[in-house]
Structure 1
Amino acid sequence: MRTVLTAPRSTSSSGTPRFDRLDALRGAALVWMAVFHFCFDLAHRGLIEANFYRDAVWTGQRTVILTLFLCCAGAGQAIASAQGQSWGRFWRRWAQVAGCAVLVSAGSYLMFPRSYIYFGVLHGMAVMLIIARLSAPLGRWLWLLGLGAVLLPQYAAHPVFDQRALHWVGLVTHKPITEDYVPVLPWLGVMWWALAATQWLLARHPHWLASSHSPGVPQRGLTWLGQWSLTFYMLHQPLLIGALELGWWLTHRA
Structure 2
Amino acid sequence: MRHARLDAWRGTWMVWMAAFHLAFDLAHYRLIDANFYVDALWTTQRTLILSGFLFWAGWSQGLALAAGQSGPRFARRWLQIAGAACLVSVGSSWMFPNSWISFGVLHAFALLLPVLRWAGPHLPTPALVGVAALAVALPALVQHPVFDSRWTNWVGLVTHKPITEDFVPVLPWVAPLLLGLAAARSPRCLRLMQGPLPEGGLGRLARGLAALGRWPLSFYLLHQPVLLAALLGGLWLWRSA
Quickly name the TM-score band, shorter chain normalised.
over 0.9
Structure 2 residue 32 is matched with structure 1 residue 45: no
Q: Across the two proteins, how many residue pairs are aligned to each other? A: 236
Distance in 1 (CA, whole Å) between partners of 2:40 and 2:143 is 23
Counterpart of 2:215 in structure 1 is 228
Structure 2 residue 232 is matched with structure 1 residue 248: no
Counterpart of 1:36 in structure 2 is 20
Q: Does the aligned pair in 1 maintain the 2:4–2:197 contact within 8 Å?
A: no
Structure 2 residue 212 is matched with structure 1 residue 188: no
Q: Please, which runs of 5 or more residues in structure 1 have no aligned partner?
A: 1-16
Kindly provide the amino acid, as one letter, of the partner of residue 139 in structure 2: P
Structure 2 residue 112 is matched with structure 1 residue 128: yes
Structure 2 residue 224 is matched with structure 1 residue 237: yes
Q: 1:89 aligns with which of 32, 55, 73?
A: 73
Deviation at 1:214, TM superposition (A): 5.7
**Local SS of the residue matching 1:173:** coil
Cα deviations across residues 191-238 of structure 1 (Å, max 9, x unaligned)? 11111121123xx55331123356511000110010011111111000
Structure 2 residue 48 is matched with structure 1 residue 64: yes
Cα deviations across residues 157-191 of structure 1 (Å, max 9, x unaligned)? 11111122101111111100000000011010111
**Local SS of the residue matching 1:212:** coil
Structure 2 residue 90 is matched with structure 1 residue 106: yes
Counterpart of 1:218 in structure 2 is 205
Kindly provide the amino acid, as one letter, of the partner of residue 246 in structure 1: G
Counterpart of 2:132 in structure 1 is 146
TM-score of the pair, normalised by structure 2 = 0.95
**Local SS of the residue matching 1:227:** coil
Q: Does the aligned pair in 1 maintain the 2:65–2:117 contact within 8 Å?
A: yes
Q: Please, which runs of 5 or more residues in structure 2 have no aligned partner?
A: none
Distance in 2 (CA, whole Å) between partners of 1:164 and 1:157 is 15
Deviation at 1:154, TM superposition (A): 1.2
Kindly provide the amino acid, as one letter, of the partner of residue 250 in structure 1: L
Percent identical pairs in the alignment equals: 54
Counterpart of 1:6 in structure 2 is none
Q: Does the aligned pair in 1 maintain the 2:153–2:169 contact within 8 Å?
A: yes
Kindly provide the amino acid, as one letter, of the partner of residue 235 in structure 1: L
TM-score of the pair, normalised by structure 1 = 0.90
Q: Does the aligned pair in 1 maintain the 2:102–2:150 contact within 8 Å?
A: no
Distance in 2 (CA, whole Å) between partners of 1:174 and 1:75 is 31
Cα deviations across residues 16-54 of structure 1 (Å, max 9, x unaligned)? x11111111110000000000000000111110000000
Distance in 2 (CA, whole Å) between partners of 1:132 and 1:41 is 33
Distance in 2 (CA, whole Å) between partners of 1:131 and 1:235 is 27
Q: Does the aligned pair in 2 maintain the 1:139–1:199 contact within 8 Å?
A: no
Distance in 2 (CA, whole Å) between partners of 1:244 and 1:232 is 17
Q: Does the aligned pair in 2 maintain the 1:150–1:186 contact within 8 Å?
A: yes
Q: 2:11 aligns with which of 12, 27, 31?
A: 27
Cα 1:29–1:213 shift into 2, 3 Å: closer
Comparing 210-219 with 221-230, greater Cα deviation is found at 210-219
